[in-house]
C-alpha cells in the first residue's frame, strides 16, 4: 500500500493534464474541466482525448492517451464506468502519475459496480498510479489554477488562494464548502474529494495537506472510515505539523441501532466511537458546513495563536445581547469569570454606568469615542483571568459613523496586544470584515456561531497539549474463551489482568455454599453460575444480603428451583458465593470492539446516569491512567465522585487504575473479545479502592447475538 499522501502532488499540483472523454460541450463532465482550465489560466499543457474529434474547445485533441505528445502528470477520466478500467490501464502504460475518475456506476451500485471498482484498485496497486475516485468530484488547487473537477461551483468563479485545505469524501458537501468560502472571501489552498476511494482515501488527503506549505488549516468532511490506522496516523501527522484539523462527521448512528448483550454495547454507539477517536487524534468535530468554515477560518487567521484556556470575557453595548452571549458561551463550554476588582474599576472610570461584570455591558457609550472603547478593551485584555475576549458588534459596521470609531480602535488594540485572542461577532459589510480579518481578528457572524467557534479554538488548543496515544500493546497470551462465559471465569481473567475482584468461590451444592459463606463471613451474595445466563437477575439467579447459614442453604435450593423453571435448558455449573459489599458509588466500566476503530473503553456512573442520561466517557483502547482520570473528570456526574455536598470523595486513583487495566486487556485480546461489561464497579471512598461486583465477557463470535 502506498505511503500516506504519496503521489498526490500529481493530482493537486500537476504540470500537465489530459482529459479522457473530453467534450466540446462545456456543460458535460468531460467538457467542464477543459473550459475551466482555459478560463482560469492553467499554465500547463492541456490535452483533450477524444477519438471522434480533432479539436476540443479550440485545443488539439488526441484519439488515445498514447497519442498525447508527452506524458502528462494527471489524467482526468470522464467516460462510462465500463470503459474506466481500460482507460486507467492505458494511463498507467503511458506512465501517467495519477488519475482522477469522475465516472459513477461502481461500488455504490452493487455487485457489478464493485467488480469494476476492484479492477481499478488492482490496476492502481499493480502499476503504482495514484487514483482519486471513482464517483468523485475531483480536485483543484487555487494558486496553481489546476482544475480537475466538474464542480458547478467554479462556474461562478474560483475562491481566492489562501490557507484553508478542503478534503471531503462527499463531493457535493466539499463543493458547497468551497462555494461558501468563496462567498465569504476565505482563501482556499486545495480542494480534494475522494468519492469511492478505490485507492486515494481521506487519510491520504489529510496527510498531503499536513505537509503542504500552502495549507495552514485542514477542513475534512468525513462520511465513513475505511482504514482506521491510516486515518489516525494522518491526523497525528497534522497535529505534529501544528495544522488544525476541523472535521464535519456525517452519518451519526442512533444509540440503540445495534442489538447488544451488554450495557456497554448499547452505550458505545459507532458515532460516539468516531467522536472519541477524532478527539484523541487532535481533530475538532463540528456539525454543519457553516461551523466548519467558521472554525477553520478563525484558526487560519490566528495561526499559532490559540487560547491558553477557556476563560472568556464578553463585551457588548447591549444588556440583552450580553445575556444571549452568556447563554451561548456557557452552552458551548466556555468559562465566564468575573473581571478583577481593578479591571472593573478601570471600566467604571470611563463608563460609570456600565455593568462591569461578565458579560460586560459598556452601553452605547463604548462606541461614542475611540478612547473609551480602547480603554475597556485594554482593561479586559490585561486582566489575568482573560484567555480570550469576544466583542459583539452586531450590525454596527454598516453605519459609517460607528465604523469610523471601531476600525481604527481595533487596529490600535491589535498593535498593542498582538498575542491576545480577540474574536469579533459581526454582521457587516464584506469589505469591513475583510479589513478586520487582515488585522488578525477572527470574525464570525452570529451569537451562537461565534461562541461555538471560540470554543472550537479552545478545543484545538487543548489538542496540542494532549500527549500522543500509547502504542497498542502486543497481543496477550492465549485465553480460554469458553472459561470466560460465566461471571466467575470472567472475573478470574480480569483479576489476572489487574482488575480488583472479591474473594469468591464456586460451589456445587447447598452444603458447599454454607461452608464458603461461613469461611468468608456473613453477609454474602449468592449467584447462579451458567454460561447460558448472562443476565442472571432476569431468571431470579441473584440473592443479596444472606446473613446466616440457614438463609444461605434456603436461598441456594430456592434459586436452583427458580432458575430451572425459568431456563430449563440452561447449563448450570454451580453457585457463586461472594462477600456482600456496600458503601461507595456504583459505576459501569466496559469495552467494546468497534468494527472500524477496534477496542474502546467506556466508563460512567451506574444507574440512570449511564442508561438514561447517556453520561459516559469513551476512549480508544488502551489508555494510560492520566487519560483514564481525564475520562472520569469529563463526566457530568463527576461532582458525585468528587465529594459534592459533603459526600465522601471516591477513590479516583483506583477507578483510573481499573479503567487503564481493562483497556490494556481489551487491546491485547482484541481479536478474541467483542465486549466486556463490569456492572457495577463499586468505587469506594478515597483510599479504599474499587471492586468489580459483576462481570460479563462476550467472545468475538457473540458480537452480534441473535
- Span 538-564, average pLDDT: 95
What residues does each domain of the chain span? Answer: 9-251, 307-465, 503-579, 585-702
For 72-84, what is the mean pLDDT? Answer: 97
Return the pLDDT at 87: 98
| Beta partners for residue 526, in sequence order | 543, 577
For residue 468, the model assigns a pLDDT of: 78
Q: What is the pLDDT of residue 477?
A: 83
Q: Residue 639 burial by CB count (10 A; 0-12/13-18/19+): exposed, middle or buried?
A: exposed
For the chain, give the percent of residues with pLDDT over 70: 96
What CATH fold (topology level) applies to the domain 307-465? Answer: Rossmann fold (3.40.50)
d(CA 147, CA 191): 9
451: part of which helix (H) or strand (E)? Answer: helix 447-465
Q: Higher pLDDT residue, 526 or 467? A: 526
At 269, the pLDDT band (50, 70, 90 cuts) reads: low
CATH topology of domain 503-579: Dna Ligase; domain 1 (3.30.1490)
Q: Tell me: pLDDT of 296 over 90.
A: yes
DSSP state of 498: T
- pTM, two decimal places: 0.91
> What is the helix (H) or strand (E) element at residue 209, kind and residue range?
helix 202-211
Average pLDDT, stretch 429-456? 96
pLDDT digits over 132-181, tens only?
A: 999 999 999 999 999 999 999 999 999 999 999 999 999 999 999 999 99
- Alpha-carbon torsion 197, 203, 206, 211, what sign? negative
Residues 317-338: pLDDT tens digits?
Answer: 988 999 999 999 999 999 999 9
The stretch 590-603 carries a mean pLDDT of 94
Assess whether pLDDT exceeds 80 at residue 268. no
Same fold for the pair 9-251 and 307-465: yes
Query: Is there a contact between 360 and 378 (Cβ–Cβ < 8 Å)?
Result: no
The hierarchical CATH code for the domain 9-251 is 3.40.50.720
- pLDDT computed for residue 287 by the predictor: 94
Higher pLDDT, 435 or 108: 435
Residue 612 is predicted with a pLDDT of 73
Given this model, what pLDDT does residue 272 score?
87
The confidence score (pLDDT) of residue 158 equals: 95
Class of domain 585-702: alpha beta
Residue spans of beta strands (DSSP E) within 194-345: 217-222, 245-249, 284-286, 312-316
Question: What's the pLDDT tens digit per position in 652-694?
Answer: 999 999 999 999 999 999 999 999 999 999 999 999 999 999 9
Q: Quick one: pLDDT band at residue 262, thresholds 50, 70, 90?
A: very low
Q: Tell me the pLDDT tens digit for each residue of 463-484.
A: 988 877 778 888 888 888 888 9
- Residue 192 has phi, psi (to 5 degrees) of -140, 125
β partners of residue 619: 601
pLDDT of residue 252: 67
Supply the pLDDT for residue 473: 83
Amino acid at each position: 500500500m502506498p505511503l500516506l499522501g504519496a503521489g498526490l502532488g500529481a493530482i493537486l499540483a500537476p504540470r500537465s493534464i489530459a482529459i479522457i472523454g473530453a467534450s466540446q460541450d462545456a456543460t458535460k463532465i468531460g467538457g467542464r474541466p477543459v473550459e475551466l482550465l482555459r478560463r482560469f489560466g492553467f499554465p500547463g499543457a492541456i490535452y483533450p482525448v477524444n477519438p471522434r474529434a480533432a479539436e476540443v474547445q479550440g485545443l488539439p485533441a488526441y484519439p488515445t492517451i498514447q497519442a498525447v505528445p508527452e506524458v502528462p502528470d494527471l489524467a482526468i477520466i470522464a467516460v462510462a464506468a465500463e470503459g474506466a478500467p481500460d482507460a486507467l490501464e492505458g494511463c498507467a502504460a503511458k506512465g501517467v502519475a495519477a488519475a482522477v475518475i469522475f465516472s459513477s456506476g461502481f461500488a455504490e451500485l452493487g455487485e457489478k459496480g464493485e467488480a469494476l471498482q476492484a479492477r481499478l484498485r488492482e490496476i492502481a496497486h499493480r502499476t503504482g498510479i495514484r487514483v482519486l475516485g471513482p464517483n468523485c468530484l475531483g480536485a483543484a488547487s487555487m494558486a496553481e489554477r489546476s482544475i480537475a473537477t466538474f464542480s458547478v461551483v467554479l462556474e461562478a468563479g474560483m475562491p481566492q488562494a489562501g490557507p484553508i485545505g478542503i478534503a471531503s469524501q462527499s463531493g457535493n458537501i466539499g463543493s458547497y464548502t468551497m462555494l461558501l468560502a468563496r462567498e465569504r472571501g476565505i482563501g482556499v489552498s486545495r480542494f480534494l474529494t475522494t468519492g469511492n476511494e478505490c485507492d486515494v482515501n481521506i487519510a491520504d488527503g489529510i496527510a498531503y495537506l499536513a505537509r503542504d506549505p500552502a495549507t495552514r488549516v485542514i477542513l475534512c468532511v468525513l462520511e465513513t472510515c475505511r482504514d482506521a490506522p491510516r486515518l489516525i496516523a494522518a491526523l497525528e501527522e497534522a497535529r505534529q505539523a501544528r495544522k488544525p484539523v476541523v472535521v464535519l462527521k456525517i452519518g451519526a448512528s442512533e444509540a440503540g441501532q445495534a442489538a447488544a448483550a451488554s450495557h456497554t454495547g448499547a452505550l458505545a454507539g459507532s458515532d460516539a466511537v468516531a467522536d472519541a477517536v477524532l478527539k484523541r487524534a487532535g481533530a475538532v468535530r463540528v456539525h454543519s458546513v457553516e461551523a466548519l468554515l467558521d472554525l477553520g477560518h478563525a484558526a487560519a487567521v490566528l495561526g499559532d495563536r490559540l487560547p491558553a484556556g477557556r476563560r472568556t470575557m464578553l463585551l457588548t453595548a447591549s444588556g440583552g445581547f450580553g445575556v444571549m452571549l452568556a447563554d451561548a458561551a456557557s452552552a458551548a463550554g466556555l468559562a465566564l469569570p468575573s473581571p478583577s476588582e481593578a479591571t472593573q474599576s478601570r471600566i467604571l472610570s470611563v463608563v460609570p454606568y456600565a455593568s462591569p461584570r461578565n458579560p460586560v455591558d459598556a452601553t452605547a457609550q463604548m462606541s461614542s469615542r475611540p478612547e473609551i472603547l480602547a480603554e475597556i478593551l485594554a482593561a479586559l485584555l490585561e486582566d489575568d483571568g482573560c484567555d480570550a475576549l469576544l466583542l459583539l458588534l452586531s450590525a454596527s459596521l454598516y453605519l459609517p459613523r460607528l465604523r469610523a470609531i471601531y476600525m481604527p480602535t481595533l487596529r490600535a488594540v491589535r498593535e498593542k496586544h498582538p498575542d491576545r485572542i480577540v474574536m469579533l461577532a459581526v454582521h457587516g459589510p464584506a469589505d469591513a470584515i475583510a479589513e478586520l480579518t487582515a488585522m488578525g481578528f477572527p470574525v464570525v457572524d452570529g451569537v451562537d456561531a461565534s461562541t461555538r467557534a471560540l470554543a472550537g479554538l479552545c478545543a484545538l488548543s487543548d489538542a496540542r497539549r494532549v500527549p500522543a496515544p500509547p502504542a497498542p500493546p502486543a497481543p496477550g497470551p492465549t485465553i480460554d474463551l469458553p472459561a470466560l462465559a460465566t461471571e466467575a471465569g470472567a472475573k478470574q481473567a480480569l483479576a489476572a489482568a489487574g482488575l480488583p475482584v472479591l474473594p469468591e468461590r464456586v460451589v456445587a451444592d447447598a452444603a458447599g455454599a454454607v461452608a464458603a459463606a461461613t469461611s468468608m463471613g456473613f453477609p454474602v451474595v449468592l449467584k447462579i453460575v451458567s454460561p447460558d445466563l448472562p443476565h442472571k437477575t432476569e431468571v431470579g439467579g441473584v440473592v443479596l444480603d444472606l446473613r446466616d447459614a440457614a438463609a444461605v442453604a434456603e436461598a441456594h435450593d430456592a434459586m436452583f428451583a427458580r432458575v430451572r423453571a425459568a431456563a430449563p435448558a440452561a447449563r448450570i455449573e454451580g453457585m457463586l458465593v461472594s462477600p456482600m459489599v456496600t458503601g461507595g458509588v456504583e459505576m459501569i466500566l466496559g469495552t467494546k470492539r468497534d468494527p472500524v476503530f477496534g477496542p474502546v473503553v467506556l466508563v460512567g456512573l451506574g444507574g440512570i446516569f449511564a442508561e438514561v442520561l447517556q453520561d459516559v466517557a469513551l476512549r480508544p483502547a488502551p489508555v494510560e491512567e492520566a487519560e483514564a482520570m481525564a475520562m472520569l473528570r469529563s463526566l457530568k456526574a463527576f461532582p458525585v465522585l468528587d465529594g459534592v455536598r459533603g459526600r465522601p470523595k471516591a477513590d479516583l486513583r483506583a477507578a483510573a487504575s481499573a479503567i487503564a487495566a481493562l483497556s490494556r486487556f481489551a487491546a491485547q485480546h482484541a481479536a478474541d473479545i467483542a465486549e466486556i461489561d463490569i456492572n457495577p464497579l463499586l468505587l469506594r471512598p478515597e483510599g479504599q479502592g474499587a471492586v468489580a461486583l459483576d462481570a460479563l465477557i462476550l467472545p468475538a463470535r457473540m458480537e452480534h447475538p441473535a
